[in-house]
A and B are shown apart, each in its own frame.
Chain A
């Protein structure tokens, strides 16, 4: 083939491939049947539908939903406050948006990292989040997280729990490999629980926001979630202590330390949320990447069932 012919072939194929690219982008544009829209009355659940903040009825969670235009990667609502972790875009860095009961933005906190967990205290005063702050090379094995807390009443902002004095079994540690994630608040808006990983352990730590301290309570507890009555922690535990084997949802009694594995036997990588003192909800991803919100009794009995299809980040705000 002469050079000219080769150039013509190359140009033709380039145009063809360009057509494939544009065609794919046009055809695969935003699709997916939106859930039926409709008014919601009575007790509600707040979830994310395809990244949009939505509300469904507690009594008919698979039924009609009110979908807002608030876009979040993670969200949680309680006591009239909604924490929304804005997605990281190609040009935007993301961050935390605090919304009031009418979903007006009352405060934003610029944050760098990939949204992972969000929580609000039952009274709506304290807001916490977790971000992944690593991931610049897909060849990197380690990861690091950053967990922060905002007091919406005083405006006090702790961008990283690493600032707090932390201790393991009474011994103060400042290890460089400390990572924090998955905060959950007690009713007094001061005490909280979280995960602290260091030296290969994933500790349940109890925090005191005013005193700026954290102390270990138990080992092998990730993404704790405190029950509304404040007596139990729902969490995920790495199977055999190895996250590569997946996680098992369990409930731990804080007074006795007794652990009850829940009826959900699939691996759940989410921070569970209590719908009431008897029921725990969590997001679970299907093979095609779509999430469903499931629920399971908190006492280890029963079977898990889909609560809200095609949704994640469940919260029972009232």
Chain B
């Protein structure tokens, strides 16, 4: 099929966004306030509140990332199989809410704390794919960039507010971590309520023949899907992780440790401001160019932190470009992939794509750490920049003409 014979998807602009997208955005906003509250104070709580030693602190993290990736696939398949995306998402949001409350009785037991944090991540793993599938199913294909942009911007507002709320609670209660966790659990419960009341499930009109595992195999035989998954994995491999980027900036510029969190705040501010406009841009000029532009910004970040420039302007430019990278890729990649997936298997497909990306990301962090040790930060970062450019070219070759 020639590209020119594909009809341009219908687009209604911002009016194409249904109430469902904004309801899902509101759920994400509220839930992110809850989860970022905990993320912001957890290190302080573990080391100061519980006086855990660094080694014990490392044990808590453990190997849960792999398990939650698997759960994401389970959640996606379950949602498609039962055709109940909202129910699976609600289960995921609910698990995370319960986990917040579980921090109280977990006490100083590293095993219990690890279990609670795993439950939280498992909930996140379960809910992400059904939520993104609901967004694609509630939006005309031509407006998906806007839909994901609006959703991610609301999500970003929540992530931005979370740490501020946590600080306010700590200040109001004279430093009670328990109050932060109770507040976080209550905010999360409110998020579940908004989901239950305001989000409409998208039940397909197809005859209710349950999806089988063999059909998932069929998904993999679809060359278009395979290419997108491959591209997402490659893009994941090109991303070395926020921690490394901030660390490089900090080492280069000799920033005081206190500035560390501010780098993340600056990035998320740029992200939440640009997510919606870049989503709209993707609907207009095509999603692939915007995603590729995002990875070009990432390559620029890697080159800049290892390059000859320096000073405050460097910090500002890097943080801004990093925010552009997130805004141009996070939601837009889902908007790009969504229409390529058959509706009946969309949640599973989204889960497969996100898992590929997550696995690539895991691999890149390990590889980058090894490269850093072997050749030093400068060479490792230049290598990462080369990796980003390679992934960009490969993605272009893989997905061109399919979006």
Contact = CB atoms under 8 A, between A and B. Distances in A.
Contacts of B59: 244
Contacts of B51: 285, 291
Interface residues of A, number: 47
Contacts of A288: 107-108
A243 B108 contact: no
B171 interface: yes
- Give the secondary structure class of A's interface: loop
Contacts of A291: 51
A36 interface: no
Contact of B167 (A1, A90, A244): A90
Contacts of B257: 112-113, 133
Contacts of B190: 10, 13-14, 17
A313 to B, nearest CB: 11
Chain B CB within 10 Å, residue with most, of A1, A132, A138: A138
Given A25-B173, A25-B179, A6 B198 contact: yes
A89 B173 CA distance: 12
B254 interface: no
A93 B172 CA distance: 18
Contacts of A87: 48
Chain B interface extent, by class: 35 or more
B151 to A, nearest CB: 19
Interface stretch (B1-9, B39-47, B126-134): B39-47
Contact of A132 (B47, B109, B176, B194): B47
B58 A141 contact: yes
A310 interface: no
Interface in B159-192: 167, 169-176, 178-179, 182-183, 186-187, 189-190
Contacts of B223: none
B218 interface: no
- Give the secondary structure class of B's interface: helix
A269 B197 CA distance: 49
Contact of B179 (A28, A93, A289): A28
A32 to B, nearest CB: 13
A137 B43 contact: yes
B152 to A, nearest CB: 21
Contact of B182 (A24, A30, A93, A114): A24
B179 A21 contact: yes
B85 to A, nearest CB: 20
Nearest to A312: B51
B47 A30 contact: no
A73 interface: yes
Nearest to A243: B55
A114 B187 CA distance: 28
B260 interface: yes
A289 B52 CA distance: 10
B167 to A, nearest CB: 5
A244 B172 CA distance: 36
